[in-house]
Structure 1
Amino acid sequence: MNVDILKLRAKAFDYLFDAVVVTDLQGIIIDWNKGSEALYGYSKEQAMGQPVSMLHVPEDTADITSEVISTVADMGKWSGEVRMLHQDGHIGWVESMCVPIYGENGQMLGALGINRDITKRKTETERLQHLAHYDQLTNIPNRYLLLDRLSHLITQSERNEYRFALFFIDVDNFKLINDTQGHIFGDQVLKEVALRLSHSIRNSDTLARFGGDEFIILLENISDRNAASTMAKTLAQALKKDFVIEGETVEMSCSMGVAIFPDDGCTADTLITRADKVMYQNK
Structure 2
Amino acid sequence: MLLLLQTRGRMTAADLAAELEVSVRTVYRDAEALGAAGVPLYGDAGHAGGYRLLDGYRTRLTGLTADEAEALFLAGVPGPAAELGLGQVLAAAQLKVRAALPSELRAHADRISGRFHLDAPGWYADGEDTPFLPAVADAVWRSRVLRVRYRRWRAPTDVERRLEPYGLVLKAGRWYVVAGPGPRTFRVDQILELDSGEGEFERPGDFHLAAYWTAYQRDFHDRLHQGEAVVRLAPGVRLAGRAGDAVRANGRKESDGWTRATVPVESVEHAHAEFLRLGADIEVLEPAELRARIAGTVAALARTYGTESAC
- Tell me the TM-score normalized by structure 2: 0.23
* Greater strand share, structure number: 1
TM-score normalised to structure 1 length: 0.24
Question: Of the two structures, which has the highest relative contact order with CA contacts closer than 8 Å and spacing of 6 or more?
Answer: 1
